Amino acid sequence: MAQTVNAEQGIDVEYAQQQPLATKSMLLDITRSGSTLVAVGERGHIVISPDGETWTQAEHVPTRSTLTTVFSIGGRLWAGGHDAVILTSGDEGKTWTREFFDPDRQQAVMDIFFADENNGVAIGSYGLYLRTSNGGQTWQEALVDKESDYHLNSLLRFDDGRQLIAGEAGYSYRSYDDGNTWEAMEMSYQGSMWGALKTSGQCVLFYGLRGHIMESCDFGTSWIELETGSESSISGAAQHDGIVLLAANSGTVLTRDQSGQFRIHHHSSGVDFAAAISLGDGNFLLVGEDGVHKYPEITKQGDRDD
């Protein structure tokens, strides 16, 4: 299956409304494109910032569907979400065009990954798996598992073309040939994994429901469950200089340093976090309910609360 959508000519396009509180709405993912931070969320809201402090809403976004993921490579951005919508931007998120849209599917794009500006994948709910080799001008439908239509939540790619997918209900997958073929992995935890993060060397973390974190250092042949002391579901992750940060529900933030032990922190916002990004200086931004939040927080005395 291939489908091309031209946002400028499509008569069914609805643009995200400009709303004064868009920067404080539910945001579900964040990335950096060049010098600009870009976050996406409900009602097609896309907000951009040069510094993580001041945020403005992008004016030309051809969807009102909730956006769940955003990805950047080179000079191009892609965002995806509900109604199988996929958008792209070539100007650091200021304006967007629509590449794919199929509300009849009743599927959501949960993650987008491009190896370069031409070759990309969009995965999502009920087994959604779309591939493009021309920068998203057309998308071809494929299958990861013909026996299952569980949600595919997060994709990781190694430089040699190996790929991992973290999925729902214990269904996670690996590919040795850049996603051409997939095989299911044996997971000791049968709950849902909502995200994935490459850490040191060949190690990866899968994280998700009720605070469960699984680690593998042999490309998914074996997994161990890591103890966190928290049952807050984890939706986002980032790392910087050996520090791994996991963003979870109810204001919970988990961090791990070289000691390998997780520490629990309680963000004063108390919100459910969806994603995180490192600012490269030891500080992180977390997105979720009520928009963008900082970690570590700055106390009234001006000290870092970490």
pLDDT in tens, 148-190: 999 999 999 999 999 999 999 999 999 999 999 999 999 989 9
Assess contact for 66 and 39: CB atoms under 8 A: no
pTM value is 0.93
By residue count, the chain amounts to: 306
pLDDT in tens, 65-89: 999 999 999 999 999 999 999 999 9
In a domain, residue 136? The reply is yes
In a domain, residue 256? The reply is no
Domain count, the chain: 1
CATH number of the domain enclosing 51: 2.120.10.80
Confidence (pLDDT) at 1? 40
pLDDT in tens, 238-278: 999 999 999 999 999 999 998 789 999 999 999 999 999 99
| Residue ranges making up the domain that contains 106 | 1-10+25-142
pLDDT in tens, 181-211: 999 999 989 999 999 999 988 999 999 999 9
Per-residue exposure over 57-93, b if at least 16 CB sit within 10 Å of its own CB, e if not: bbeebbbbbbbbbbbbeeebbbbbbbbbbbbbbbebb
Per-residue exposure over 126-160, b if at least 16 CB sit within 10 Å of its own CB, e if not: ebbbbbbeebbebbeeeebbeebbbbbbbbbbeee
In a domain, residue 166? The reply is no
DSSP 85: -
Q: Would you call 44 exposed, middle or buried from its count of C-beta atoms within 10 A (0-12, 13-18, 19+)?
A: buried
